[in-house]
């Protein structure tokens, strides 16, 4: 049976592409799929989040993996606003940390499984000036 070179190349390419997709599929479920930022007892004119006040940030990923969190504001990223920085997910795949923003403005919260080359998932929140009153936070513009 004779198979033209172009047809053979197309079949080989299709087979390689199918194999690549099949091999990549398990890692696609390994990423963080959600980030939730609980506003807690914050209230005021500028929104739900204030500087110097603490909030629970929860990422959803595979159970039993460490998740690293980053806080980006004004183009600068830091992990110093999270305690702990790399919590491990529980049996339901949830990893929580306490976030205490230090600057006003638009914050991007990044989270990824603590695996080299893993893609970060992010969410954005706006932070105003916070006045912590113990369990509550008054947020000013």
- Band (116; pLDDT cuts 50, 70, 90): low
Over residues 44-86, the pLDDT tens digits come to: 765 689 999 999 999 999 999 999 999 999 999 999 999 998 9
C-alpha distances out from residue 84 to 2, 67, 88, Å? 64, 10, 10
* E strands present in the chain: 34-37, 42-44, 49-50, 55-60, 67-73, 76-78, 82-83, 94-99, 105-113, 121-132, 137-140
Instruction: Based on the fold, state whether residues 17 and 64 are members of the same structural domain.
Output: no
- Band (42; pLDDT cuts 50, 70, 90): confident
Instruction: Based on the fold, state whether residues 20 and 42 are members of the same structural domain.
Output: no
CA distance 96 to 127: 19
In the chain, the number of structural domains is: 2
- Band (39; pLDDT cuts 50, 70, 90): confident
What phi, psi does 33 have (nearest 5°)?
A: -110, -10
Domain enclosing residue 135, as ranges: 31-140
Confidence (pLDDT) at 27:
41
Instruction: Based on the fold, state whether residues 10 and 53 are members of the same structural domain.
Output: no
Instruction: Based on the fold, state whether residues 19 and 36 are members of the same structural domain.
Output: no
């Amino acid at each position: 049976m004779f198979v033209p070179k172009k047809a053979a190349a197309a079949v080989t390419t299709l087979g390689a592409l199918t194999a690549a997709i099949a091999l990549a599929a398990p890692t696609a479920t390994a990423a963080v799929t959600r980030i939730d930022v609980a506003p807690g007892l914050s209230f005021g004119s500028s929104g739900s989040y204030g500087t110097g006040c603490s909030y629970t940030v929860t990422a959803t990923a595979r159970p039993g993996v460490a998740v690293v969190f980053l806080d980006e504001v004004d183009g600068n990223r830091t992990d110093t606003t999270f305690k702990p920085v790399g919590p491990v997910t529980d049996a339901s795949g949830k990893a929580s940390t306490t976030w205490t923003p230090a600057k006003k403005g638009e914050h991007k919260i990044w989270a990824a499984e603590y695996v080299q080359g893993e893609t970060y998932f992010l969410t954005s929140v706006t932070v105003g000036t916070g006045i912590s009153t113990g369990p509550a936070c008054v947020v000013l513009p």
